[in-house]
């Protein structure tokens, strides 16, 4: 396995260096896409050892992911490890996802958070649990408890067959639905999540509603959203 990490980041100067340094023992290359940050995120990522691609203005997480993939996929990497730049996911847990793929259990591994009402904001708890159930049961047709997790590992052979269009947080759901429709072997591993490390930019109700509406498009109008 030859794994490249892709980290979309917007105004994550306080945490991006730790994310990059935490990933370095586990992956061959780290690409950070600086999505129009104005706090020096790109500079700190570069100083920590990442290759940095930059958007001149904020375009959204999905756009940052697609920019990163356009650079990575023409190269000879076997898998892409996706992780957010806000340190809510622990980069030290990357081997958990990588070893699941190495063991041949899956070519798409999702790091699933434990949704506990007493350990996360109420709005995020309910939107995550409800939306994951809906997306899993009706759109992906695969058992997934954390459909919107940003911590995931995907084989590049699968990613090269996708045409992704998501611009914001719906990119995770789009990827899940389209890969499930193509018969991807989906694996799930438990990961920890640290709330309160940084302020989340996700607006739970608005962004989850948008994601669910777009899930209908991805599932039932595939000729337009391949």
Instruction: Decide if pLDDT at 223 tops 50.
Output: no
Instruction: Decide if pLDDT at 199 tops 70.
Output: no
Predicted local confidence at residue 138, as pLDDT: 47
Q: How high is the mean pLDDT of the chain?
A: 83
In a domain, residue 202? The reply is yes
Q: Which residue has the higher pLDDT, 176 or 44?
A: 44
Under the banding of pLDDT at 50, 70 and 90, the label for residue 225 is very low
In a domain, residue 71? The reply is yes
Helix, strand or coil for residue 14?
A: coil
Give dist(CA 85, CA 183) in Å, integer. 29
Domain range for 108: 3-220
What domain count does the chain have?
1
Summarize the confidence of residues 26-44 as an average pLDDT: 98
Residues in the chain: 226
The pair phi, psi for residue 37, each rounded to 5°, is -65, 150
Token output for 118: 């007493």
Give dist(CA 29, CA 171) in Å, integer. 22
Nearest to 145 by CA among 202, 83, 187, 107: 187
**C-alpha R_g of the chain:** 16
What is the tens place of the pLDDT at every residue in 88-135? Answer: 999 999 999 999 999 988 999 999 876 555 555 555 555 556 555 555
What is the tens place of the pLDDT at every residue in 50-72? Answer: 999 999 999 999 999 999 999 99
* pTM more than 0.75: yes
Give dist(CA 44, CA 183) in Å, integer. 39
Instruction: Decide if pLDDT at 155 tops 80.
Output: yes
Nearest to 14 by CA among 32, 34, 39, 38: 39
User: What CATH code is carried by the domain that includes residue 181?
Assistant: 3.90.550.10
In a domain, residue 225? The reply is no
Dihedral sign, Cα of residue 200, residue 39, residue 172, residue 46:
negative
> Among 94-98, 152-156, 183-187, which stretch is predicted with the lowest mean pLDDT?
183-187
């Amino acid at each position: 396995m030859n794994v490249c990490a892709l980290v979309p980041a917007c105004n994550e100067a306080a945490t991006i260096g730790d994310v990059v340094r935490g990933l370095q023992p586990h992956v061959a290359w780290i690409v950070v896409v600086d999505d129009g940050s104005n706090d020096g995120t790109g500079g700190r990522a570069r100083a920590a050892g990442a290759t940095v691609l930059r958007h001149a203005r904020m375009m959204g997480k999905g756009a940052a992911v697609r920019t990163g993939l356009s650079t990575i996929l023409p190269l000879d990497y076997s898998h892409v490890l996706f992780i957010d730049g806000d340190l809510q996911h622990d980069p030290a847990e990357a081997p958990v996802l990588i070893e699941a793929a190495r063991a041949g259990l899956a070519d798409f591994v999702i790091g699933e958070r434990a949704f506990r009402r007493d350990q996360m904001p109420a709005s995020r708890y309910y939107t995550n649990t409800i939306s994951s159930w809906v997306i899993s049961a009706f759109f992906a047709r695969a058992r997934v408890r954390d459909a919107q997790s940003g911590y995931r590992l995907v084989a590049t052979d699968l990613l090269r067959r996708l045409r992704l269009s998501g611009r914001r947080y719906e990119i995770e759901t789009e990827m899940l639905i389209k890969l499930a429709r193509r018969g991807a072997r989906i694996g799930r591993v438990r990961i920890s999540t640290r709330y309160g490390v940084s302020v989340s930019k996700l607006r739970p109700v608005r962004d989850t509603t948008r994601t669910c509406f777009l899930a209908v498009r991805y599932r039932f109008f595939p000729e337009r959203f391949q």
